[in-house]
Structure 1
Amino acid sequence: MISSPTARLLNQLAALHRNSLHSYLSYTHPWAGYQDDDAVEVLRQIAHDHQYVVDKIMTQLEATGQDEHLGNFPMDYTGLHDLSIQYLVKRSLRFQKGFVKRLEDLVDELPDEPLPRALAEEALGLAKGHLKNLEETAIDLASS
């Protein structure tokens, strides 16, 4: 059984992923040329991984009868349609740095319950990997 404080933190973790910039961008179409396919794929994969994290957490919360409240995307994302992939990668990189910090703080807050901690640490590991991929992608875009 997951304690109420842990369920609250897991819900926050799921909401962070569900309402992330990357999840929002999965509904948009960046302006990109064929040479930018790798950058588009990096953003698509991050959004896919965010949905994976949300699904895992929601499965866990539903199995224990906990409520979930994921909220909505921030309104300032609505202006991000049809922008260049170069701009979106730069913006994603800035977002991801803050995202990793928020996840680190959330992991630190979690009580020592094995399954929730494993879920949060997996999410943090993915986020750090995404940060590295975005850094590499930004360098590749700048050099092309």
Structure 2
Amino acid sequence: MLPAKEYEILNQVAALHHRSLPTYLTYARPWVQIGNEAKAAIIDDIATDHHDLVQRILQVLEADDRPVMLGDFPMEYTDLNDLALDFILQELTHYERRLLRTLEEIASWVDRDRSSYLLVNMAIGMAMGHLENLAEASGDSPAMKA
């Protein structure tokens, strides 16, 4: 059985990713101008990573036979409906930065000898990779400027 603290942390990380902005955008897709399909695909890639992480965490939590509470999408996400893709990608960058800060804080609470530490650090690595992909898509990447 997972200690209560580890259970709560994993449930929190799963909820953060299950009801994330990228996941919401797979349901409320932004309009994509012809030629910007690659930029739009970044949203799906991030959402897929979030989904995969949630599945990994759920396997651990469900094996413990306790309820999992993932919550609802925040209502403020609806403010992004029908906005330009470039603006949404900027918002997504802000979102991933906040998520990364939150995950880093959570990692500081987790016992390094627990499975939750590996999952939280996996989430941190994913968020860092997502930020790199978003920077590249917006032309902010050093590789794009070379």
Segments ≥4 residues shifted beyond 6 Å: none
Question: Structure 1: where are the runs of 5+ without partners?
Answer: none
User: Displacement, 1:20?
Assistant: 1.1
**2:33 is the alignment partner of 1:24:** no
Q: Aligned partners of 1:75, 1:123: CA distance in 2, in Å?
A: 24
Greater RCO (CA < 8 Å, at least 6 residues apart) = 1
In the alignment, the residues of structure 2 paired with residue 128 and residue 66 of structure 1 have an alpha-carbon distance, to the nearest angstrom, of: 31
Report the count of equivalent residues.
141
Could you tell me which runs of 5 or more consecutive residues in structure 2 were left unpaired when the two chains were aligned.
none
Q: Is the 8 A contact 2:9 2:116 kept in 1?
A: no
Distance 1:2 1:13 in 2: 15
Tell me the CA shift for residue 88 of structure 1. 0.6
TM-score between the two structures when normalised by the length of structure 2:
0.90
Which segment drifts farther, 56-65 or 105-114? 105-114
Alignment RMSD, CA only?
A: 1.5
1:82 counterpart residue number: 82
For residues 34-59 of structure 1, give each alpha carbon's deviation from its aligned partner in whole angstroms, at most 9, with x where no partner exists.
21111111111001111111111011
1:90-129 per-position Cα deviation (integer Å, ceiling 9, x unaligned): 1111111111100111111112333211111111101110
Counterpart of 1:39 in structure 2 is 39
Between the aligned residues of both structures, percent identity stands at 33
Q: Give the distance between the partners of 1:2 and 1:90, measured in 2 at CA.
A: 38
- The worse-fitting range, judged by mean Cα deviation, of 104-113 and 2-11 is 104-113
Match of 1:134 in 2: 134
Q: Is it true that 1:53 corresponds to 2:36 in the alignment?
A: no
How does the TM-score come out when normalised to structure 1?
A: 0.91
